[in-house]
Structure 1
Amino acid sequence: MQSLPKTLAEDVAKNLVMVARLIDEDPESAYGYSRVALRLASRVAAVREAAGFAAYANQKYAEALAEFRAARRMTGTVELWPLMADCERGLGRPEKALDMAGAPEVQKLDKAGQVEMRLVAAGARRDMGQLDAAIVTLQSSELASNSVQPWTARLRYAYADALHAAGRSGEAREWFAKAVEADRDGSTDASDRLAELDGVEFVDALDEGEADDTANADDKD
C-alpha cells in the first residue's frame, strides 16, 4: 500500500485489520470491512486478496474467485490456486477443480499449498460421487508421515471422513484417532467423530439441568 497517500493507506489498513480479526468469528462483518477497503483501494493486491478471503468465508464463491484471480494477476504468485479451485467446487464445477489440480501451477506451490490442493481434489472427487478415487487422492507421503505439520490434522480428518463415507468404519476410526492426535488447536471435530464411532453420547449439562428443574416443578404440582 506504499503507492497510496498516507491517510488513505491508514484507512485501508484499519479495514484490513478488522477483516483479519473477524473473518473466523464473524465472517459477515469481515465481509463488510473488506468491501470498504475494496472501495478505497481496489488496485492494491492485498485488498483484493482480503476481499477474496472474506467472500469465500461467506460462501460467495463467484465473488471470491474473481477477487483471487485479480490478486493473482497483480502479484503473479500461485499461492491462491487451491482456493480458486475450491471456489470452482463451490460453484458446482468439480471437474474444473480437478483440471486445476493437474495444472503446472500446482508444482510451484509450497508443501502446504500442495497438500491443500490435494484436499480440494479429493473433495472434488467426492462431489462427483467418486469415493474410492477421493480416498486414493488423499493417500500420500504427507498422510503416511508421523510428523505433525500444520496441515496434518485436516489431511487425516479428510481421509477418515472419506473412509467412513465409503463404509470402511474400522479404518475411519483409526484415522479419526490419528487426526485427534495431530489436532492440537481443535481445528476439526475429529474427537466428536471418534466418540460417535465409539458409541459415546454427550449430554449437555445445561439441558440436563433444565430437565431436572422441569421434573422438580412437576413433583411440586
Structure 2
Amino acid sequence: MAERPDRPPRDDRAPRSGGSQRDGAPRRDGAPKRDGAPKRDGAPRRDGAPKRDGAPKRDGAPKRDGAPKRDGAPRRDGAPKRDGGAKREGTGYRGPRPDGAGRPERPNRPEGDNDRPRHDDPVIPETVTGAELDRIARNELKTLAKENADRVAQHLVMAGTLIDEDPALAHRHAQAAARRAGRIALTRETLAITAYATGDFALALRELRTYRRISGSNEQLPLMVDCERGLGRPEKALELGRSVDRRTLSVPTRVELAIAMSGARLDLGQTEAALTELEIPQLDPSTAFSYSPALFDAYAIVLDELGRTDDAETWARRADVAAEALASAGADDGDETIEIIELDDEDGNAGGDSGR
C-alpha cells in the first residue's frame, strides 16, 4: 500500500540521474582593507579659498568628556588615524607594513593548506565518471567549464543513486553540485528533491522556487504543494496548487498534483473534497499508466476514510494489479513514453498492452 495522502507523500522519483554559492565569486572577507588609503595631507591646498579663521569658535558647545567611552569608536576630536588603529581580532590585520604600503599583510596559511578543498564534499567512487547522467541533463551542464561540469555530473549521479538508501548522503552530493553550479536549474531541482527526502521542507520549498524561477517550469508544483503540507500549511498548499492552470502541466504532473491537493484536503478534514480532487479523467480502471498505481491507491485510502470499505478494497486491488502489469511490461524503465496496459474490468487481471 502506498503512503497515505494525509501525510506528505514521498517523491519516489530520484533526481534525473542526478539537485548556492558562486564558486568563482570574490570573497568579501578577502577584499583589501581601507586602512592603507593614501592620506590627504599632501593634497594641494586651495589657497584662494576663504579662510575660516574668523568663524565663531564652538568652545561653548557641551563637551562629551563625561560621556561613557565606546571602546574602539572613532574619537570626535579628530578623524580616526588609519595607521594607528587598533587591531581587529579575527581580520588578520597586522598594522601598517614596514615599507609604508597601505595594503595589510595577509595571515600566513599553514604549509599545504592551499591544497585543501573549500568545502567538505563527499567522496565520489572512482567507478562514477558522470557519463552515467542522461543526455538531456548533460546538456544543461554545457555552460560550465568541462572539468567543473564533469564533477557536477558525478555528484548528481551519486545523488540519484543514493536518494532511496541514504537520503542524507544524497543531499550532501546535491549540495556539492549546487555549490559548483548554482545557476543550473538541474542542480537546484536535485537539491530540492534531496532536501524533501530528508524532511527539510523549508529548504526544499526555497530551492523549488529557485528552480522554477531559473527554468520557468511548473512541473515540480506537486512537490511544492507537499512541502507546504509538510510545513503545516494546508491552506497555502491549496492556494499554491490552484495558482497554475493545470492544462499547462504534463499529464503525470496533473495526477501528482491531484494527489497532493487531496492530501491537503485530508489535512483540513475535508474528506469528501479530498475524494473529488482525485476524480479526474486519469482515474480509469481499464488502463494503467505509470502514474495509475499511485492514483488508484490514493483513491482507495480516501474511500476508506469515508467508510466505504468495499470500494476501497476494490481500488487497492486495482492499484496492485496496475503496478504488476506495468512492471511486467517494462513501462517503469525510465522511458519517457507512457505505456498503456489494458485491464480486465471483472477480475482486474492484466490483458495485452497497447503502447502510445
- The TM-score, its normalising length taken from structure 2, stands at 0.51
Tell me if structure 1 keeps the 8 A contact 2:289–2:326: no
Matched residues in 2 for 1:140 and 1:108: separation?
A: 16
Matched residues in 1 for 2:310 and 2:290: separation?
A: 26
Alpha carbons of structure 1 residues 168 and 140: separation in structure 2 relative to 1, 3 Å: same
Q: Which has the higher contact order (CA 8 A, sep 6+)?
A: 2
Q: Which residue of 2 aligns with 1:75?
A: 215
Alpha carbons of structure 1 residues 18 and 185: separation in structure 2 relative to 1, 3 Å: farther
1:184 is displaced (CA, Å) by: 2.4
Tell me if structure 2 keeps the 8 A contact 1:61–1:88: yes
Deviations 1:183-207 (A, max 9, x none): 12899xxxxxxxxxxxxxxxxxxxx
Q: Which residue of 2 aligns with 1:171?
A: 311
Unaligned segments of structure 1, at least 5 residues: 188-221
Among 61, 75, 78, the residue aligned to 2:201:
61
RMSD of aligned residue pairs (Cα, Å): 1.7
Matched residues in 1 for 2:266 and 2:290: separation?
A: 23
1:54 is displaced (CA, Å) by: 0.5
Tell me if structure 1 keeps the 8 A contact 2:222–2:256: yes
1:135 is displaced (CA, Å) by: 1.1
Q: Which residue of 2 aligns with 1:213?
A: none
Equivalent pairs counted in the alignment come to: 187
Q: Which residue of 2 aligns with 1:143?
A: 283
Paired AA for residue 150 in structure 2: E
1:140 is displaced (CA, Å) by: 2.0
* Higher helix proportion (structure 1 or 2): 1
Structure 1 residue 125 corresponds to structure 2 residue 265: yes
Matched residues in 2 for 1:185 and 1:33: separation?
A: 34
**Structure number with bigger Rg:** 2
Matched residues in 2 for 1:138 and 1:33: separation?
A: 35
Counterparts of 1:89-100 in structure 2, within 5 Å, are 89-100=229-240
Tell me if structure 1 keeps the 8 A contact 2:285–2:318: no
Q: Sequence identity, in percent?
A: 40
Q: Which residue of 2 aligns with 1:7?
A: 147
Paired AA for residue 77 in structure 1: S
Q: Which residue of 2 aligns with 1:17?
A: 157
Q: Which residue of 1 aligns with 2:51?
A: none
Name the SS for the 1:184 alignment partner: helix
Deviations 1:70-128 (A, max 9, x none): 11111111111111111111111111111122223432101111111100110000011
Structure 1 residue 102 corresponds to structure 2 residue 276: no
Name the SS for the 1:183 alignment partner: helix
